[in-house]
Amino acid sequence: MEREEQLSRLWSDIVGEMKRLDGGDSFGIDNYIGPLSLKEDDGTTLVLTYPENTLVDWVELNYQDRILFAATKVLKGARTLRFEPRVAAPGGATTETTVELHGPVEDAAGAPAPRPQRKAAAPRKKALVSGLNATQTFDNFVCGGSNDFAVAAAKACAARLEERPYNPLFIYGGPGLGKTHLLYAIGNAILAANEKAKVLYLTSEVFANDYIEAIANGSRAVTEFRRKYRKVDVLLIDDVQFLSRGPRTQEEFFHTFNALFESGKQIVLTADCPASEITNLEPRLSSRFQQGLTVSVHTPDLEMRTAILRKVCKEWKSEFITDEVINFLARSITRSVRQLVGACVRLVTFTAFSRRCLTVAEARQYIADIVREEKGSKVTVADIQQMIANEFNMRLAELTGPRRTAAVVQPRQLAMYLARKHTASSLQEIGAAFGGRSHATVLNAARKVEANLARDPKLAELVKKLSAELA
């Protein structure tokens, strides 16, 4: 009983940290994370159990990374995550089983209940050891003009592992466009072909936290850390741009990268921008990231977004999402595949309960928060220029003009930094908006501001305030 109470308190702390990090997203967390409970924490894996009707596919897709990140903060160390259903047994007891997860189905009484179907399936041990989400494969990745080159390169890496056609493979693009799915797909394809392969997926944040914990625990822990990361066959690292936050972490990753590369192991990396544009990344790391193949994923066009929505409806066996609603979703949510899928799953869930088709007006009401976020995210370079001009009591012409006095250069650099962080504009586009300056000038400005943030509290406070206004 004492252990159960301890786990309950720990889970409460993790959920509380998730809400704090999400700025109080109580609706999603209460509804999708609230039904979960923490069954065990063995120091490497958190085992979460869920009731029968929980949309665990939705939780894994949308909340797994946030759960792990919050857990890392609370537990001061990295974990992997495993989901197990709580199944009622005769007499009211519960038993733990492993299931394969599918979309909403009807219960025995015919009442709509979005819940997983059960199959006699072996536990996905490899996926749990490797950190992979076993449900995300090449088969359920929608390919189109915005990502076909990246998909082809990823498939080549997985199918021709011994040849290592591209090493490293560096995939970049904005958030929610499928980079993580491609990493999972590569790992899952390799494990399907060779279940003995040592595949490891993680984010750079987890790598950094693992390293910090190892340093704190002494030389033996550091040795174990290095053995863990340098003995794998395939290393899949997500969001490597965050490595730039710590020089010691960069140093350790540099040696890890070299050890794997020189021993002929495959490395696949993702980031939100090309390696050359990651601020504060050591040149030697940037150089190594670029020595293989760099590919990009872009925002999908209308046809591809429509195809993604139809695939989601098919996977969830939904009969109630009309072509009109699909068209509305595809035209309303254009920047993030993750948000697009999330909105569709939300509507599928509502229709599973109501057993009827939604009108476009109803669909708009149910996903109003997602659409608001989509529209609110479209900050332009011009918006930022006007904000900086107002903040520093300047004329817009000064920001875009040739003057290079400190009173002009510093606000200009700050505007470039914010434009890079808060808009989807490329470095070339940002430079063009500032009087035709080069992409190198924009990148240099962003790096200078980034470097000054750590030692200038007033600048850090100003950036925090301006970023909040933009958000």
pLDDT tens over the chain, length 471 residues: 688 888 888 999 898 888 877 655 566 677 778 888 998 888 778 889 888 766 666 677 667 777 887 887 888 777 778 888 775 544 544 433 333 333 333 333 333 334 333 333 333 444 435 678 888 899 989 998 889 999 999 999 999 988 888 999 999 988 888 999 999 999 999 999 998 899 999 999 889 988 998 998 888 999 999 999 999 999 999 999 888 777 889 999 999 999 999 999 999 999 988 898 887 889 999 999 999 999 999 888 889 999 999 998 988 888 889 999 999 999 989 878 888 988 998 898 888 878 889 899 999 988 888 887 776 656 788 889 988 988 898 888 888 888 888 889 999 999 999 998 888 777 888 988 898 898 889 988 988 998 898 888 899 999 988 988 886
CA 50 to chain centre: 23
Show the tokens assigned to 243. Answer: 């490595």
In angstroms, rounded to a whole number, what is the distance separating the alpha carbons of residues 343 and 329? Answer: 8
| Residue 357 DSSP symbol | P
In angstroms, rounded to a whole number, what is the distance separating the alpha carbons of residues 24 and 20? Answer: 6
Show the tokens assigned to 405. Answer: 């006095």
> Where are any strands of DSSP class E within 344-388?
none
> Is the separation of the CB atoms in 18 and 67 below 8 Å?
yes
Q: What b/e readout covers 350-371, taking b as 16+ CB neighbours within 10 angstroms?
A: bbbeeeeebeeebbeebbeebb
Find, among 209, 221, 150, 212, the residue nearest to 183 by Cα.
150
Query: From the CB of residue 288, how many other CB atoms can be counted at a distance below 10 Å?
Result: 20
In which residue are the tokens 């499928």 written?
178
> Is the separation of the CB atoms in 50 and 77 below 8 Å?
no
Cis amide prior to 168 (ω within 30 degrees): yes
Show the tokens assigned to 367. Answer: 């996903």
> Is the separation of the CB atoms in 29 and 20 below 8 Å?
no
Q: What does each C-alpha distance from 324 to 5, 305, 404 come to in angstroms? A: 49, 14, 54
Show the tokens assigned to 234. Answer: 């395939």
Query: What is the chain's alpha carbon radius of gyration, rounded to the nearest angstrom?
Result: 24
Q: What angle do CA 390, 443, 252 make, to 5 degrees?
A: 125
Find, among 1, 106, 17, 51, the residue nearest to 318 by Cα.
106
The helix/strand/coil state of 425 is coil
Q: Among residues of the chain, what percentage have pLDDT more than 90?
A: 36
In angstroms, rounded to a whole number, what is the distance separating the alpha carbons of residues 61 and 341? Answer: 9
pTM as predicted: 0.60
The helix/strand/coil state of 334 is coil
What residues contact 343, with CB distance under 8 A and at least 6 apart? 329, 333, 367, 370
> Is the separation of the CB atoms in 415 and 434 below 8 Å?
yes
State phi, psi for 102 to the nearest 5 degrees.
-135, -165
